[in-house]
């Protein structure tokens, strides 16, 4: 037995309906009517129709034709037919020699879109706050029309919690307001089937407020209670449905719509509950401002009582709707085609449910089974037909009809008796490709009667497949739930029954999955920037991927700014409309992967708009505005600016700043200003463009609130007082005619105030004043309306004059040879005749006490601020004569100088000798010549000469010291070693101590006899010959070495050198007595034991580098403690003899030989 398998069309089979029109078929009366009926079978079926239960002879109606090889009817309405003439119930029968199949009953009805009946509509006059219902009452159409309300301009009327359209199309007002007054409330009915819209006549609504009632129609109303009462609040009452309870029946699977609309003031709020249960999750929706409860796909479980509650501040009301869910018949088990071989048994089952429960009836080949030809192989048992030992004549089509009062179900199922060997319908060697770790479904579509058995094998000689790793489906399909790489291969399907056996091979390939190894990431970009999303993939090498980019699940905009690369998407010049979700989809023939990222485009906010000024007062006003789009970056603040169109038109000033959550601000105002305001929004990206200016607001004039600031009184001449101030800004004037009252009087003198009134200036000069006298000053603002508050007084002074008196009792205390301290007595303050700024000390060197030569006198100045009476004079030269004087300083200048004061500095240490030369070297003597110090800084008492020898390893010998009288300028040193280098240290001394030293080096000459012997050896012939032979031998060895090396061989000498290096070619040690290369590194070698010089052999400078702080302002240069300028002189850096100095020695043949070797 084979159930629900398609019989190949080359085999005999009863008809099967494949296509038919819907049961309830509404047609457009203007177009041809097409009633579909398609079927298949072998042999091909013939078709016939019934209309309203009787045979429909299409040959007798020239407007009706049947399509070739089809049962579909075409009624030619467009050639003069009337659709209404073809209304009725139609049924199609498809028949061949093995049976007959029938279609559903198809009810044909033409669509209708009738016009509104004409009616006279009276204007609706309603009191403010009352409820109102505007009835639509559309004409009955087929199908029912869609209702909506519009005005004369074809604009939809706005709806809200207060005003909304009901399910019946009426327009409900919970309470009317004056703005509801209009004459063009128009109800429209749209008939979708015929694509027509019908319009009701406009309805007029006039809403009267209490004030307008009293003023305009009081004379026409006899009952003053109707119009005299103010608008009162009312508790809710239901406009629809009426009463407290109602019933609703809905069919299973449909959408349940429940509605409650209430009147009341304030507007009531609607809430829904289900008594004794919860509203179904995921299927419940609220529409029409929660006035409509919508439950989709209802079932019997949704039956029950639903309560709507309308509530406002004055109370509540409710309505209970009892919902019953009925059900048209629906299938539990629909009968399925049955293929049997002769002698087999089988059954057809037809089970349905509904509310009420449907009745089941059977037909055979379209005829009720009770009157159909008998078949001994079948037996009807309620909803089941049982077949036993069928024969080929048992083939037929059976119909099951399940019906109740809400509808019916009709199903065709044939019984086809065949004897056929197995056949496999899946193509041979079909290739299946799947992705790793995904299910693999390998088909083996088959047919045979009796039903064949199916077996699967892997490989040509594989064993039968069994086990939990495989799933075998009834239709022959083999399922591998999780395909692995080793699942790849050849699979063989074998189908066999008692009439034969057949097999088929198919191929399976398992591919690597496609992966997005770098997904696009969330991006935040500023407007007009560039952004790129990456989408880097990895895929099976045998699959060709295609990458598609979507924006918000739709195609990318057709815009050249979008650049799609191999593994990225780039957007140039990003705009606000580019904001959204971008998805990278990678498709192959086997799989698809995707990844998404959000692009947020941020920008400066749009400017605020709709600026409004309210609450206008003399000194304040309220400004409100509507924020512009924040452009994905929250607004953090608003900046308010103002323009004074009266005083500074076109100039905007900062007023205040408020948080971004605030859209109103109370602003303080000044009198006599023509204000305009604008608002700027600020977010993290920047500031918006300014809003459009608000309307202008001119404040009234008033007395000035404030007086000029920064009032000062400073004289420019000894006999005047200049009074200055900062003028008020234009908006600070508070009114026209701004002027200033300037007042002054001498302080601490019983004088009256002197005043003048000036305008358009910020300075006034008082002449004829005493010199540097304090004054009380005040400046008061006034305008045409009066004076500002009394100003505060400030103290100023008339002009200064030069001081009259010099400081007295000037004393000098010499601290050391480079520093002195000067004292003086302060001058009387009255003699300063101005603001005391300080004292200046002028000092200069007259002459050096150690030299009588004249020099250019350079005066130096030190300034000491404030009322100081002493100061330090640094940078003096030792053993010198100085003069100084002191002067007092005020704002006008310097006063007279005090008498010059003479002082002398003591001796100091001298500078280094000006030069040291060493001449006339002999075997045992050297001549030294020197110059006296440039700055003796006192009386020289002697020179100190120190010297020590330097051997060949650059080590220093014992140090010898010689004291030389100060009047000497040269010295011959005797008893020195011949051919020896000496280092000399030379400095001068005063009674204070030794000065810095100068160094030099020199060498005594060699012994003449030794020199002559060396010369004689160097000029002997045998010596010259020996040197030539040695050179020739070395040349021969080099040639032999070169030849052997080119041949790649080794020679014994080379082997010895490899085994033990020749000591003659090792570096010379410094203590082997040989002539080595001279390097400055010798400066760092230790001295021989017993040396009296420091370990680093350097002679430190004895002068101090300590510097003094600046003791006054304006000193010309910086001084050392000894009075010399820093940087003017530094001791000569000690140096060891350079290698080139060796040339002063006589040439040595031994040295020459060493150099040659």
User: What's the mean per-residue pLDDT of the chain?
Assistant: 86
Band (1092; pLDDT cuts 50, 70, 90): very low
CB 726 within 8 A of CB 709: yes
SS3 654: strand
SS3 29: coil
3-state SS of 321-388? EEEEEEEEEEEEECCCCEEECCCCCEEEECEEEEECCCEEEEEECCEECCCCCCCCCEEEECCEEEEC
- Give bridge partners of residue 609 from the DSSP assignment: 626
Average pLDDT over residues 1057-1080: 36
Buried b (16+ CB within 10 A) or exposed e, 629-660: ebbbbebeebbbbbbbbbeeeeebeebeeeeb
List all residues 6 or more positions away from 224 whose beta carbon is below 8 Å from its beta carbon.
Answer: 218
In the predicted model, is pLDDT for residue 358 greater than 60? Answer: yes
3-state SS of 214-236? HHHCHHHCCCHHHHHCCCCCEEE
CB 109 within 8 A of CB 87: yes
352 Ramachandran zone, left/alpha/beta (phi>0; psi -120 to 50): beta
Phi, psi angle pair for 1035, to nearest 5°: -65, -45
List all residues 6 or more positions away from 705 whose beta carbon is below 8 Å from its beta carbon.
Answer: 670, 671, 732, 734, 788, 789
Band (676; pLDDT cuts 50, 70, 90): very high
In the predicted model, is pLDDT for residue 1090 greater than 70? Answer: no
Calpha distance 293→300 (Å, rounded): 17
**pLDDT of amino acid 1010:** 53
**pLDDT of amino acid 628:** 95
Calpha distance 890→801 (Å, rounded): 8
Quickly list DSSP for 984-1004.
Answer: EEEEEEESS-B---EEEEEEP
pTM comes to: 0.53
Give the count of alpha carbons within 13 A of 94, CB side only. Answer: 31
| Whether residue 829 has a cis bond before it, omega within 30° of 0 | no
- pLDDT per residue as tens digits for the range 948-981: 999 887 888 899 999 999 999 999 999 998 889 9
In the predicted model, is pLDDT for residue 1133 greater than 50? Answer: no
* Helix ranges, 948-1020 (H): 1008-1019
In the chain, % of residues over pLDDT 70? 86
In the predicted model, is pLDDT for residue 1047 greater than 90? Answer: no
Polymer length in residues for the chain: 1157
- pLDDT per residue as tens digits for the range 925-952: 999 999 999 889 999 999 999 999 998 8
Average pLDDT over residues 442-467: 89
List all residues 6 or more positions away from 478 whose beta carbon is below 8 Å from its beta carbon.
Answer: 441, 442, 444, 456, 465, 470, 471, 472, 491, 493
Average pLDDT over residues 790-801: 94
Calpha distance 13→15 (Å, rounded): 7
């Amino acid at each position: 037995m084979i159930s629900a398998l398609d019989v190949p069309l080359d085999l005999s089979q009863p008809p099967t309906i494949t296509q038919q029109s819907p049961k309830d078929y509404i047609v457009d009366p203007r177009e041809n009517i097409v009633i579909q009926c398609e079927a298949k079978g072998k042999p091909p079926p013939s078709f016939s129709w019934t209309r309203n239960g009787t045979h429909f002879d299409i040959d007798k109606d020239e407007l009706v034709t049947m399509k070739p090889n089809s049962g579909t009817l075409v009624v030619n309405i467009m050639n003069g037919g009337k659709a209404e003439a073809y209304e009725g119930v139609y049924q199609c029968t498809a028949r061949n020699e093995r049976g007959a199949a029938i279609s559903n009953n198809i009810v044909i009805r033409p669509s209708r879109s009738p016009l509104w009946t004409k009616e006279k509509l009276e204007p609706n006059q309603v009191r403010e706050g009352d409820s109102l219902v505007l009835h639509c009452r559309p004409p009955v159409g087929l199908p029912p029309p869609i209702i909506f309300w519009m005005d004369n301009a074809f604009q939809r009327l706005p709806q809200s919690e207060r005003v909304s359209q009901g399910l019946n199309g009426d327009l409900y007002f919970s309470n009317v307001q004056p703005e509801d007054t209009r004459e063009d409330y128009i109800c429209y009915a749209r008939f979708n089937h015929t694509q027509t819209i019908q319009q009701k006549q406009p309805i007029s609504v006039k809403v009267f407020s209490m004030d307008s009632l009293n003023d305009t129609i009081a004379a026409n109303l006899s009952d003053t209670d109707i119009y005299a009462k103010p608008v009162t609040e009312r508790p809710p009452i239901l406009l629809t449905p009426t009463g407290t309870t109602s019933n609703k029946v809905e069919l299973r699977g449909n959408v349940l719509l429940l509605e409650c609309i209430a009147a009341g003031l304030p507007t009531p709020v609607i809430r829904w509950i289900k008594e004794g249960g919860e509203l179904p999750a995921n299927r419940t929706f609220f529409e029409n401002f929660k006035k409509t409860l919508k439950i989709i796909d209802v079932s019997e479980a949704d039956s029950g009582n639903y309560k709507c509650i309308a509530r406002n501040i004055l109370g509540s009301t409710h309505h209970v709707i009892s919902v019953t869910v009925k059900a048209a018949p629906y299938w539990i088990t629909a009968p399925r085609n049955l293929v049997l071989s002769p002698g087999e048994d089988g059954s057809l089952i037809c089970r349905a449910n509904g509310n009420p429960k449907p009745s089941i009836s059977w037909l055979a080949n379209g005829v009720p089974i009770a009157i159909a030809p008998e078949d001994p192989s079948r037996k009807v048992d309620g909803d089941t037909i049982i077949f036993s030992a069928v024969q080929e004549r048992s083939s037929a089509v059976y119909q099951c009809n399940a019906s109740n009062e809400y509808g019916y179900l009709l199903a065709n199922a044939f019984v086809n008796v065949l004897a056929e060997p197995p056949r496999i319908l899946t193509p041979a060697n079909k290739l299946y490709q799947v992705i790793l770790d995904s299910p693999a479904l390998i088909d083996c579509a088959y047919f045979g009667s009796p039903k064949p058995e199916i077996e699967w094998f892997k490989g040509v000689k594989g064993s039968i497949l069994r086990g939990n790793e495989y799933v075998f489906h009834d239709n022959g399909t083999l399922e591998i739930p999780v395909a692995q790489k080793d699942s790849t291969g050849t699979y063989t399907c074998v189908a066999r029954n008692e009439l034969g056996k057949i097999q088929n091979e198919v191929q399976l390939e398992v591919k690597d999955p496609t992966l997005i190894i770098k997904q696009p990431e969330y991006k935040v970009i500023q407007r007009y920037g560039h952004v790129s999303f990456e989408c880097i993939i990895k895929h099976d090498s045998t699959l060709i991927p295609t990458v598609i980019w979507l924006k918000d699940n739709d195609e990318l905009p057709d815009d050249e700014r979008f650049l799609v690369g191999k593994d990225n998407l780039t957007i140039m010049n990003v705009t606000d409309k580019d904001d959204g979700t971008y998805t990278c989809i990678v498709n192959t023939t086997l799989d698809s992967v995707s990844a998404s990222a959000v692009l947020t485009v941020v920008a400066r906010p749009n400017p605020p708009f709709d600026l409004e000024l309210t609450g206008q007062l003399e000194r304040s006003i309220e400004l409100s505005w509507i924020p512009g789009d924040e452009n994905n970056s929250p607004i953090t603040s608003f900046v308010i600016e103002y323009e004074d169109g009266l005083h500074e038109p076109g100039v905007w000033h900062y007023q205040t700043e408020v948080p971004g959550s605030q859209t109103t601000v109370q602003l303080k105002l000044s009198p006599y200003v023509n204000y305009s305001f604008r608002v700027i929004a600020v977010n993290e990206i920047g500031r918006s463009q300014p809003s459009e200016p608000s309307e202008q607001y001119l404040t009234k004039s008033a007395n000035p609130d404030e007086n000029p600031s920064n009032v000062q009184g400073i004289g420019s001449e000894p006999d005047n007082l200049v009074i200055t101030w900062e003028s008020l800004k234009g908006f600070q004037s508070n009114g026209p005619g701004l002027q200033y009252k300037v007042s002054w009087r001498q302080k601490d003198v019983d004088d009256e105030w002197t005043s003048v009134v000036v305008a358009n200036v910020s300075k006034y000069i008082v002449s004829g004043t005493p010199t540097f006298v304090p004054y009380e000053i005040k400046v008061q603002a006034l305008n045409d309306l009066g004076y500002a508050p009394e100003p505060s007084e400030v103290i100023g002074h008339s002009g200064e004059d030069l001081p009259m008196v010099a400081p007295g009792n000037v004393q000098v205390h010499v601290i050391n040879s480079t520093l002195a301290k000067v004292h003086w007595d302060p001058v009387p303050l009255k003699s300063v005749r101005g603001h005391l700024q300080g004292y200046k000390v002028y000092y200069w060197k007259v002459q050096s006490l150690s030299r009588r030569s004249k020099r250019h006198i350079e005066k130096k100045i030190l300034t000491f601020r404030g009322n100081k009476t002493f100061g330090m004079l640094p940078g003096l030269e030792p053993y010198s004569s100085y003069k100084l004087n002191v002067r007092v300083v005020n704002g006008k200048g310097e006063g007279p100088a005090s008498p010059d004061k003479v002082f002398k500095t003591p001796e100091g240490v001298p500078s280094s000798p000006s030069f040291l030369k060493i001449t006339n070297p002999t075997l045992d003597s050297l001549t030294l010549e020197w110059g006296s110090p440039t700055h003796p800084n006192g009386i020289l008492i002697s020179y100190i000469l120190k010297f020590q020898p330097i051997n060949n390893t650059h080590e220093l010998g014992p140090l010898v010291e010689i004291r030389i009288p100060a009047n000497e300028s040269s010295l011959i040193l005797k008893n020195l070693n011949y051919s020896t280098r000496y280092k000399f240290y030379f400095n001068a001394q005063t009674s204070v101590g030794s000065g810095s030293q100068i160094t030099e080096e020199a060498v005594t000459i060699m012994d003449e006899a030794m020199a002559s012997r060396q010369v004689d050896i160097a000029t002997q012939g045998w010596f010259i010959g020996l040197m030539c032979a040695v050179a020739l031998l070395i040349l021969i060895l080099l040639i032999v070495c070169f030849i052997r090396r080119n041949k790649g061989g080794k020679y014994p000498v080379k082997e010895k050198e490899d085994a033990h290096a020749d000591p003659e070619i090792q570096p010379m040690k410094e203590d082997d007595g040989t002539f080595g290369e001279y390097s400055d590194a010798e400066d760092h070698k230790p001295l021989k034991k017993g040396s009296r010089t420091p370990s680093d052999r350097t002679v430190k400078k004895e002068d101090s580098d300590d510097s003094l702080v600046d003791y006054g302002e304006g000193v010309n240069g910086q001084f050392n403690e000894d009075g010399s300028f820093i940087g003017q002189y530094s001791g000569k850096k000690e140096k060891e003899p350079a290698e080139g100095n060796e040339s002063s020695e006589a040439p040595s043949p031994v040295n020459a030989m060493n150099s040659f070797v």
